[in-house]
């Protein structure tokens, strides 16, 4: 489940996974794992496609469902949309 804290950590490294692995604090590493990092990247890419008008209605519905299933709140979903 993605939370605002996960997004905050992701943003603090500008989406640079390698930078996170090298420089993250033990607390950040306890919160964020590869699975969540990868999910955030994937959702941002999907939202970007939608914003650019490159997604079908079926794809948009699928992504909306993924967002609801994988994010803890509407605020988290909006934060991902803002980043895309």
pLDDT per residue as tens digits for the range 26-81: 999 999 999 999 999 999 999 999 999 999 999 999 999 999 999 999 999 999 99
Q: What are the extents of the domains in the chain?
A: 4-83
Task: Supply the pLDDT for residue 66.
Answer: 98
Predicted structure pTM score: 0.94
Token pair listed for 11: 């943003």
C-beta of residue 4 within 8 angstroms of C-beta of residue 75: yes
CA 83 to chain centre: 9
Task: Supply the pLDDT for residue 24.
Answer: 97
**Phi/psi zone of residue 31: left (φ > 0), alpha (ψ -120 to 50 degrees), beta?**
alpha
Task: Supply the pLDDT for residue 5.
Answer: 98
Task: Supply the pLDDT for residue 11.
Answer: 97
Q: What is the C-alpha to C-alpha distance for residues 29 and 26, in angstroms, rounded to an integer?
A: 5
Task: Supply the pLDDT for residue 49.
Answer: 97
């Amino acid at each position: 489940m993605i939370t605002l804290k996960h997004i905050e950590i992701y943003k603090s490294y500008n989406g640079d996974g390698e930078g996170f692995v090298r420089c993250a604090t033990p607390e950040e590493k306890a919160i964020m794992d590869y699975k969540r990092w990868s999910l955030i990247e994937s959702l941002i890419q999907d939202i970007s496609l939608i914003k650019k008008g490159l997604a079908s209605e079926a794809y948009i519905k699928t992504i909306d469902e993924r967002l609801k299933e994988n994010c803890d709140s509407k605020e988290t979903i909006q934060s991902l949309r803002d980043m895309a």
